[in-house]
Amino acid sequence: MITRGTVVKLDRSLPLVELQDGERVRCEHATDLVKHGSERAVIGDEVEVSIPDAHDVCVMDRILPRRTQLTRRDPQERTAGQVMAANFDTVFIVQPMNRLNLRRLERELVLAFETDADVAVLLTKSDLVNAEERADAVAEVSALVGADVPVLAISKACAEDIEAVRAMIPDDMTAVLMGQSGAGKSTLINQLTGQDVRKTSEVREVDGKGRHTTVSREIISVPGGGRIVDMPGVRGMGLWDAEQGIAAAFADIEQLAEQCRFRDCAHGHEPGCAVTNAIEAGSLSQQRLDSYQSLREELERTQARYRQRSWR
């Protein structure tokens, strides 16, 4: 018998698949899929599953086309992409307000925009800063992400903050959480579900880092809402096929570049450069341009390595 299902958990065991009738089964990849398939199943994948007679586990025969996917450069392989999650509707970028990292946020925005899903930024641990710092952080992040990306400040002590997040995950939608260890992802999920479904750990005061408490990828149902994907904290955020994401994350620079006198303007000392003119006028920061150029150079290096490998 062949049926369809969704990969709802990836841990140290075989992938856990929820079948159309609600039953959950462990599945191994079919031999043909392992030999000839370029992808392995990731959290959120829709798959075709066969249940053979006299078999301890089910068999995953086919991974269906993905409507969205979150992809980074594979940290183990500089010329390949690694899909981390699939078939979601919203990406929640989670950053702790007391350890806000705008340079990382820019990189996270590129990866999130590349998915074509909706994007929102959740600033957790807002109870650890004062009111002025909270307002400044929200304003700074809002200016960075643009008017189309919601920015929510969240305190674990404020029920209204949690309900605002719940409202962004309707019952027919799936959201994925992206952020470093210690950002507060597991705490947020526990508050959304009203249960301790995800382990949490303290963040070290010395360097602000936490252990990878979450070691599995799992889709969790949110009471009164849809579903949310929790993933282990991601350190490496290398770009992979991120042209669209960079254009969206740095739309202001891309729009300015179209006004430059020369089509190949490097935004350095060229005459008639609209980008450097904006920096001189104070409407664009040099730091933001530096980030944009650094990410573009990284993407170009990655693409060059991939082309070299393909030619061999």
How crowded is residue 44: how many other Cβ atoms within 10 Å of its Cβ? 26
List C-alpha distances in Å: 287 to 1, 98, 215, 237: 58, 21, 35, 19
Q: What is the pLDDT of residues 192-242, one digit of tens each?
A: 998 876 565 554 444 444 444 556 889 999 999 999 998 876 666 667 677
Among 223, 243, 107, which residue's Cα sits nearest to residue 170?
223
Confidence band, pLDDT 50/70/90 cuts, at residue 34 = confident
Q: Can you name the residues that pair with 95 across neighbouring β-strands?
A: 123
Q: What is the pLDDT of residues 267-278, one digit of tens each?
A: 988 999 999 999
Q: Mutual orientation of helices 286-311 and 102-114 as an angle, nearest 10°?
A: 50
Confidence band, pLDDT 50/70/90 cuts, at residue 144 = confident
Confidence at residue 241, expressed as pLDDT on a 0 to 100 scale: 72
Burial of 108 by CB count in 10 Å (0-12 exposed, 13-18 middle, 19+ buried)? buried
Q: For residues 12 and 2, is the Cβ–Cβ distance under 8 A?
A: no
State whether residue 252 is helix, strand or coil: helix
Tokens read off for 233: 């904290």
Q: Can you name the residues that pair with 28 across neighbouring β-strands?
A: 59
Full-model pTM: 0.84
Please identify which residue in the block is written with the tokens 């993933």.
Answer: 231
Eight-class DSSP state of 312: -
Separation of alpha carbons 240 and 80, rounded Å? 8
Could you tell me which residue, 268 or 44, shows the higher pLDDT? 44
Q: For residues 15 and 60, is the Cβ–Cβ distance under 8 A?
A: yes
25, amino acid identity: V
Question: What are the phi and psi torsion angles at 7 (to 5°)?
Answer: -70, 115
- Return the half-sphere exposure (C-beta side, CA atoms, 13 A cut-off) of residue 102: 16
How big is the CA angle at 30 (ends 29 and 36), to the nearest 5 degrees?
A: 100
